[in-house]
Amino acid sequence: MAGRVVRVCPPRDFDFSNVSTGTETIVVAERIDASQYDTIDVIVRVHTATTISTNGAIAVQVVSDGYTADDPSQDFFGSTIGNGTTLSGTLAAGGMTVESLSASIGSMVAVRVVGTAGSGAVTARLSIDLAMKTC
C-alpha cells in the first residue's frame, strides 16, 4: 500500500465566537492532488484544552476541488466527501481523531473548517493532516 502524508494545517487557532447565527467556513487548503489515491485518512489533533459552547461546533470537511487554470480566481468546490471530525463540548489537549474517506475522492480535494455559532466561545487550536493511500 503506497501513500503520502500531506500537512494541511500546522497548529492554528480557529475562533468562531463572533459568528452570530449559522456557520462560517474557512478554506485551509485547496488543490491537493489526490488523483492516484483511493482512500484519505483525515487526522485532526487538538493542541490546547478548550470548551465549545452549547449548540456550537467545529467541523473539518474534505470536499472535491475542480480547480482549473482557465478561471483561477473562482472556487469550484463540489460536494463534501466527508467530515474529518466534528468537535463540540469539552476538548482535551492531546485529543486526536482519524476519519477514513473513500467515496468519490476525485482528482483534487480541498479542506475546510466550518464553525457553527454557539451561545458563547467556539474556539480550538487544531492541526490537520491527510494520509492518502492506495489499496
DSSP 69: T
Report in angstroms the alpha-carbon separations of 52 from 14, 82, 86, 122.
11, 22, 11, 5
**pLDDT tens-digit readout, 34-93:** 989 999 999 999 999 888 988 899 999 999 888 777 777 767 777 888 766 888 888 889
Q: Which of 110, 104, 112, 102 is nearest to 132 (CA)?
A: 102
Which sequence spans correspond to the domains of the chain? 3-133
Confidence band, pLDDT 50/70/90 cuts, at residue 131: very high
Pick the CATH number of 3-133 from 2.70.180.20, 2.60.120.260, 3.40.1260.10, 3.30.30.60: 2.60.120.260
